[in-house]
Amino acid sequence: MKTIIEPFRIKMVEPIKLTTHAEREDLIREAHFNPFLLKAEDVIIDLLTDSGTSAMSADAWGALMRGDESYAGARSWFHFRDTVKDIFGFEQVIPTHQGRAAEHILFSVLIEPGSIVPNNTHFDTTRANIEFVGGKPVDLPCPEASDLDSDFPFKGNMDIDALQALVATEGPEQIPVIMVTVTNNSGGGQPVSMANIREISRVARSAGIPFYIDACRFAENANFIKRREPGFENTAVIDIAREIFSYADGCTMSAKKDAFGNIGGFLCTNDAALAHKERNILILTEGFPTYGGLAGRDLEAIAVGLREILDENYLDYRLLSTQYVVEHLRDARIPVMAPAGGHAVYIDARRFLPHIPPLQYPGQALAVELYLEAGIRSVEIGTVMFGLDPHTGVEKPASRDLLRLAIPRRVYTQSHMDYVLEAIGQVWDRRNDIVGLKILEAPQFLRHFTAHFARLNAAQVPSRGNL
């Protein structure tokens, strides 16, 4: 069958409030042309993030009722710990309230001022947590990642030559940990191959440096390996996942992604002495080591979600439904990152709106237009997010201006995606009339969340009337 069906039935629904184009004109103006500042109920299809936005299953909702809320040694903790150990294979499991808490604890114990941490591409919280304790994050994406159009199957790979050169020039004592992010969120949700993971592990082990995996989307990455890497066609995804982690010394995880959690995370290691130090910080900042900032019911739901995410029918549907959107955009010649990644679709806003220079924020302008067109919320990944150096105050174009449409897990159906495609097509048809934006006010750090914008020339924007 060619039709991709959602491999679940819908038992409970959440109504979507429909708005008109005229209403959205007022709403986006009140939100200062920043989709982050919209009320969620004023959004028809919310593609801001796939983090914490998943739909839980009947089993996970049932598990919530089994949550053991004892302070110490709760039954739910053992369920959670044993599930994590079974899939990820590490000896020590440290629960946290979300992924960035795991990062903060790990880097607090591993990093000294001046330490260098390589990664394929650091996610922004990973980068910020390394910098917070005085370390220097270094991104080493593979060269193929810079070509948005090529169909190279593992654009999330790390550049192994660059990693070796970094270890040789800086020396292993300067590098307390080597990381790789699967899939590579900041690099377009692109997967990392098993061959690349083995190579990173080889470099790390021969230099005596611990190797950690940012495991947020580990199941999507494992399924990409099954579908794209020769030799894995007949291996179960859970075994691919186990092999991935067998090459590492530990991992950080946000359960808000590939565990269907609305909250949660964890940190793993095989090093008992390190785990002891980490648990001491955990007690200070998160909670007792058997709950670490989570309710017993959350631990239960995550344990169920970690099993469900490895269902291969679900994973096939997940990857194929993202691919469905990317392929329809490519067929319409709309510039989009290829091949399809796992959790999101990335439109190349600079090529979509070539008449808007980067410092007039084409990605942000496109996010605004997509909201106006059909109530779709997306996020700019470009000059608004990365263009300002917060230390010098100097602004320059980011390397790319992308619009990310992140797809929450099990939340939207194919008809929702058809609606998104139709809306993008309509914005594409009137792209020459779209104007850029200017920033009216913005904080020094992480300005994209709260910046206020104005249209550069509102008079040029065509009136579209009601839907």
Please state, in angstroms and as integers, the Cα–Cα distance from residue 402 to each residue in 152, 347, 353, 383, 398, following that order: 19, 6, 11, 9, 10
Q: Of the candidates 181, 193, 196, 378, which one interacts with ligand PLP according to CB under 6 A?
A: 181
Q: Say which DSSP state 55 is in.
A: P
98 is a contact residue toward ligand PLP (CB under 6 A): yes
- Closest CB to ligand PLP among 88 and 123? 123
The CB-of-92 to ligand PLP minimum distance in angstroms stands at 19
How many residues bind ligand PLP (CB under 6 A)? The answer is 14
53 is a contact residue toward ligand PLP (CB under 6 A): no
Bridge pairing between strands 265-269 and 92-96: antiparallel
| DSSP per residue, 108-141 | HHH--TT-EEEESS--HHHHHHHHHTT-EEEE-B
Task: Note whether 303 and 59 are within 8 A (CB).
Answer: no
Which of 92-100, 137-145, 287-295, 387-395 is the region at the interface with ligand PLP (rule: CB under 6 A)?
A: 92-100
Bridge pairing between strands 437-441 and 211-214: unpaired
Q: By CB under 6 A, what part of segment 102-161 binds ligand PLP?
A: 123, 125-126
The CB-of-10 to ligand PLP minimum distance in angstroms stands at 26
Bridge pairing between strands 211-214 and 250-254: parallel
Q: Which residue has the tokens 């997306």?
A: 378
Q: Which residue has the tokens 């890497």?
A: 229
48 is a contact residue toward ligand PLP (CB under 6 A): no
Q: Of the candidates 34, 51, 83, 92, which one interacts with ligand PLP according to CB under 6 A?
A: 51
| DSSP per residue, 282-316 | HHHHT--TTTTT--HHHHHHHHHHHHHTT-HHHHH
The CB-of-121 to ligand PLP minimum distance in angstroms stands at 9
Q: Which of 338, 259, 220, 308 is nearest to 51 (CA)?
A: 259
- Closest CB to ligand PLP among 28 and 145? 145
260 is a contact residue toward ligand PLP (CB under 6 A): no
Q: Which residue is nearest to ligand PLP (CB)?
A: 99
Residue 155 token pair: 């654009």
- Closest CB to ligand PLP among 159 and 220? 220
214 is a contact residue toward ligand PLP (CB under 6 A): yes
258 is a contact residue toward ligand PLP (CB under 6 A): no
- Closest CB to ligand PLP among 92 and 98? 98
254 is a contact residue toward ligand PLP (CB under 6 A): yes
Q: How many Cα atoms sit within 13 Å of 239 on the Cβ side?
A: 7
The CB-of-291 to ligand PLP minimum distance in angstroms stands at 17
Q: Of the candidates 167, 216, 222, 402, which one interacts with ligand PLP according to CB under 6 A?
A: 216
Binding site for ligand PLP (CB under 6 A): 51, 98-100, 123, 125-126, 181, 185, 214, 216, 254, 256, 265
